[in-house]
């Protein structure tokens, strides 16, 4: 059989680090072990039933069986604008400042192809969501990492970036509440980001995937709430986490009109928009009663408290995250991230994500996903605690 070579663009793509973890977990499942899988980032709870019902009804409409408008339905873009006005008091023009996306992952990968040429530089958080690198690789762009250190509350230190790096940078990715560190950012940080980005003409892309998941009475800050945010960047919001709609693949970008137009343009050539019934149900989710969202955040907060409360009984010191559904846990001395993660899987049958899979500065940590019941999370904490005492 003739073998056809992949393009250079595909060869530049980074290795999918967590594919190996999935295989290890599946191997233990097949052997009959009771594995508590906390290594994933996939919501475990169902989509609220009213949203599912709206999808069922919408799927029966003949007009939804046809091609949707290339740039998404006005109904969904208006719902996104209404959502931002209600939740963050941010005004958005639905046609020029909102772009419909096939999930946030798509937008986060294609934005590099929209704005970067081969000689350009993107600033990426380290540790960070691996698919930021996928987009820059496809664009054949250069990358510079911004270390996220515990001493800086896992926020990038712009003063530590060299002037020549900032002058070359065209794009910067941020993500708060943060995956994997679970750190949050405030208005002061975003104001400082805008000041720096304006000075060096850098487009900021804020990945707001966990925007609905704030704890202890704190609502996560939207980048768009800072004055001047629309001048220099966009924010990407997904329904995957807020409404447990991960498999639906629907999200949107908001902000700078020129960037929104670039996203729409590339998608004109790649897609013919999302199934109309999904867009109708997504618009409903954004504008309907938001009590299920509040309940969801409370559920993750209770899971956080159950897991960390039990783990502290074994002498572990770990900060309580203020958002996301992750815990960023330091590994014991004498282990690398991968060594400790492997030990937990093989000896305690608890799957975790090693921090080095998110970048060089993720070394020394593992990421725990709070994606099981409080009872199972307490059991996982018992297994971890007993193994490491």
d(CA 167, CA 261): 25
> What pLDDT was estimated at residue 124?
98
Tokens of 370: 């709070």
Mean pLDDT of 152-180: 96
Question: How far is Cα 34 from Cα 345, in angstroms, rounded to an integer?
Answer: 11
Domains and CATH numbers, the chain: 15-44+291-388 (3.90.1150.10), 49-287 (3.40.640.10)
Least-confidence region, from 26-40, 253-267, 284-298, 326-340 = 26-40
Answer whether residue 41 shows pLDDT above 90. no
Q: Are 230 and 36 in contact (CB under 8 A)?
A: no
Per-residue pLDDT reduced to its tens digit, 303-361: 999 999 999 999 888 889 999 999 999 999 999 999 999 999 999 999 999 999 999 99
Q: Average per-residue pLDDT in the chain?
A: 95
Task: Please state whether beta strands 251-255 and 233-238 pair in parallel, antiparallel, or not at all (unpaired).
Answer: antiparallel
Please state the pTM of the whole predicted model: 0.96
Q: Given pLDDT bands bounded at 50, 70 and 90, which one contains residue 16?
A: confident
Question: Could you read off the pLDDT of 57-88 as tens digits, one per residue?
Answer: 999 999 999 989 999 999 999 999 999 999 99
- pLDDT value, residue 247: 93
What tens digit of pLDDT does each residue of 218-242 get? Answer: 999 999 999 999 999 999 999 999 9
Q: Which residues, in sequence order, are CB contacts of 2 under 8 Å at separation 6+?
A: none
Bridge-based pairing state of the strands 98-101 and 251-255: antiparallel
């Amino acid at each position: 059989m003739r073998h056809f070579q992949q393009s250079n663009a595909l060869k530049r793509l980074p290795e999918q680090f967590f594919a190996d973890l999935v295989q290890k977990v599946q191997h233990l499942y097949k052997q009959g072990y009771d594995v508590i899988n906390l290594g994933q980032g996939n919501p475990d709870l169902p989509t609220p039933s009213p949203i599912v019902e709206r999808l069922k009804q919408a799927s029966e409409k003949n007009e939804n069986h046809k091609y949707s408008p290339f740039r998404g339905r006005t109904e969904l873009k208006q719902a996104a604008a209404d959502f931002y006005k209600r939740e963050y008091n941010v005004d958005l023009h639905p046609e020029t400042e909102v772009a419909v996306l096939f999930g946030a992952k798509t937008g986060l990968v294609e934005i590099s192809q929209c704005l970067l040429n081969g000689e350009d530089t993107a600033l990426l958080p380290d540790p960070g969501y691996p698919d930021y690198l996928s987009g820059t690789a496809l664009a054949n762009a250069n990358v510079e990492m911004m270390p996220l250190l515990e001493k800086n509350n896992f926020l990038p230190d712009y003063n530590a970036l060299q002037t020549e790096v900032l002058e070359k940078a065209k794009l910067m990715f941020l993500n708060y509440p943060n995956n994997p560190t679970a750190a949050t950012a405030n208005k002061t940080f975003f104001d400082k980001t805008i000041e720096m980005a304006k000075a060096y003409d850098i487009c900021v892309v804020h990945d707001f995937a966990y925007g609905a998941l704030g704890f202890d009475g704190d609502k996560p800050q939207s980048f768009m709430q800072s004055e001047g945010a629309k001048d220099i960047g966009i924010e990407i919001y997904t329904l995957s986490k807020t409404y447990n709609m991960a498999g639906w693949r629907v999200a949107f970008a908001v902000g700078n009109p020129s960037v929104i137009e670039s996203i729409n343009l590339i998608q004109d050539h790649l897609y013919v928009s999302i199934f109309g019934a999904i867009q109708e149900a997504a618009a409903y989710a954004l504008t309907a009663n938001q009590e299920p969202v509040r309940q969801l955040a409370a559920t993750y907060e209770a899971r956080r408290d159950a897991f960390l409360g039990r783990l502290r009984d074994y002498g572990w010191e770990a900060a309580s995250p203020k958002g996301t559904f992750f815990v960023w846990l330091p590994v014991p001395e004498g282990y690398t991230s991968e060594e400790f993660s492997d030990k937990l899987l093989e000896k305690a049958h608890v799957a975790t994500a090693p921090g080095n899979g998110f970048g060089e500065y993720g070394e020394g940590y593992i990421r725990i996903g709070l994606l099981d019941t409080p009872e199972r999370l307490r059991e996982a904490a018992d297994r971890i605690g007993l193994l490491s005492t």
